[in-house]
Amino acid sequence: MRQGLVGLVLAAIAAAGAGSVNAQGGAPAVRPEEPAVRELIANGMARSATFRDLATRLDQSDVVVYVRFAPCSGNVAACLLWASESAGARRLVIKLDRAGRSPNELTALLAHELQHANEVASAPEIRDLASFRKSFAARGSKNADGFETEQARDIGRRVSLELATR
């Protein structure tokens, strides 16, 4: 089991490019906060070209995304939260509620949220919570639990299909 996990992690590193760093010259932009999240990210990187592209685009931006397993308010399966902006980096948090969800479902949910993070990366005017909310209100639809974009929905579906075929 351990050798299989090591192989999966090495495959993910190779697929992502061993020298992959964010535009700020530091660590990769997508940063797991616990080993189980690290495994989930490695799985997505190894099995989904779309997932790899999302991470690579974030690596080329000033956005850093911390990923953790935690429930979101409103009983949604996953969410993206504004954290802070300082020293040339905009920081976001992705929460994934893993209760009763398969690794493939969690990977697709993470990809969906990484698309939202890329939407932040493409909007340099987002520098605080107010501009974060304003930008998503303008580009997506509002529901009781936050904002949603069609691009993120599409990414989630695409990654689900990629994972199902591998």
What are the tens digits of pLDDT across the range 110-128?
999 999 999 999 999 999 9
The overall pTM is greater than 0.85? no
CA distances from 100 to 73, 96, 104, 158 (A): 17, 12, 12, 21
Domain count, the chain: 1
Q: What CATH number has the domain bearing residue 60?
A: 3.40.390
Q: What SS3 class is residue 143?
A: strand
> Which domain range does residue 61 map to?
2-164
Kindly state the average pLDDT of the residues 77-87.
92
